[in-house]
Amino acid sequence: MRRSASPPALTLFGVGVFLLVLAPLLVWYVQPHAKRTPVDVDTTTVFTGTGRYFDIGRLKTLDGQRLTITRKVRGDVADSVKSGNAVWDVSTSVDTDATLPASDTRDSLQWTLERWVTDRRTNEPVHCCRETPAFDGEAYLKFPFDVQERDYRWWDSTLGSVVQLRYEGPRTVQGYQGLRFTGSVPPTRTGVRQVPGRLVGLPRTPQVLAEEWYANSGIELVADRRTGRIMYAAIGPRKTLRAPGSDKDAVVLLESDELAFTDRTQRQQVDLAAADSRKLELLGRTAPLVAGGLGAVLALVGGVLVARGRRSGPEAPNAHLVTNQLV
């Protein structure tokens, strides 16, 4: 009697083969497509610290003031989908206790609005979609995916150029380990500003194009290794004015030894980094290992059951039996 493989055996074998095919697909296709800079971002990060700033009303620099930098990043989903890149609008305001909270960011001590466009896979700058300013480098609001233990070029908007960041080893932020990078900016001329001459030591000149100078005593960034998200950031900015051709600062516009992520911002960034990292770990390692291992077992068991369930067709009657029956 001919026997065929049972439906459960065929099902086991089919599921096993499917999982074996799925495992490499997760690694080579699904995970790379998931490893893309998001376009629907809407986050706020806050730096705080003490320092000094130039009070326009009093025409003097005030010391020992609390300073707050608020950066809001919102993705332009429509332009991102249209261009295939990550298009982010970035609003950055610098406030004192007198202007915080400001109902209008234009009332802040300083305020800038930028549009950043990057390749979603490599994090390289893309010059399109009304990008402003045109920037360069490898790291900006985030590092590339799979951060390496090496130096990186980080774009500093105030400087208008890249800063070489040195890799300094691992660092833990809110119980979560990342990679630490540091750098600095020596005093650098960044532009000119028309001001009363007496403000920069030239009382006989009504108006003068004073030189704007910028320095940063210490940049520290801690990035998540897998996602490139910045979990901790600290800067030491110094912005000054000089008389044309002078090598001495005449007015300090803004200065702080350290402005750093608040504890709340650190926790927020760590939570986001951990969640995204787990997703990539699941797609790139955990799920493929489980699918591959389980698929191999199911395919083997199913294959054995299918082989046992099959039998050769019914044997042909012996000739002599047929002959006897005819006689």
Range in 23-27, 116-120, 195-199, 291-295 the model is least confident about: 23-27
How would you label 78-96 residue by residue, b for 16+ Cβ within 10 Å and e otherwise? ebbeebebbbbbbbbbbbb
Tens digit of pLDDT for each residue in 170-190?
Answer: 999 999 999 999 999 999 999
Token digits of residue 40: 């629907």
Q: Is 267 exposed, middle or buried (0-12, 13-18, 19+ CB in 10 A)?
A: middle
Q: Do residues 223 and 240 lie in contact, with contact meaning Cβ atoms separated by under 8 Å? A: no
- What confidence tier does 287 reach under pLDDT thresholds 50, 70, 90? low
Q: What are the structural domain ranges in the chain?
A: 7-26+282-326, 27-281
Residue 270's DSSP bridge partners are none
Q: pLDDT at position 320, please?
A: 46
Tens digit of pLDDT for each residue in 66-82?
Answer: 999 999 999 999 999 99
CA distance 326 to 89: 96
Q: Do residues 170 and 179 lie in contact, with contact meaning Cβ atoms separated by under 8 Å? A: yes
Rounded to the nearest 10 degrees, how much is the dihedral formed by the CA atoms of 158, 165, 134, 258?
Answer: -20
Tens digit of pLDDT for each residue in 6-43?
Answer: 777 667 666 656 656 655 665 565 556 668 899 999 99
Tens digit of pLDDT for each residue in 129-142?
Answer: 999 989 899 998 99
Query: Helices 287-309 and 7-25 meet at what angle, rounded to 10?
Result: 150
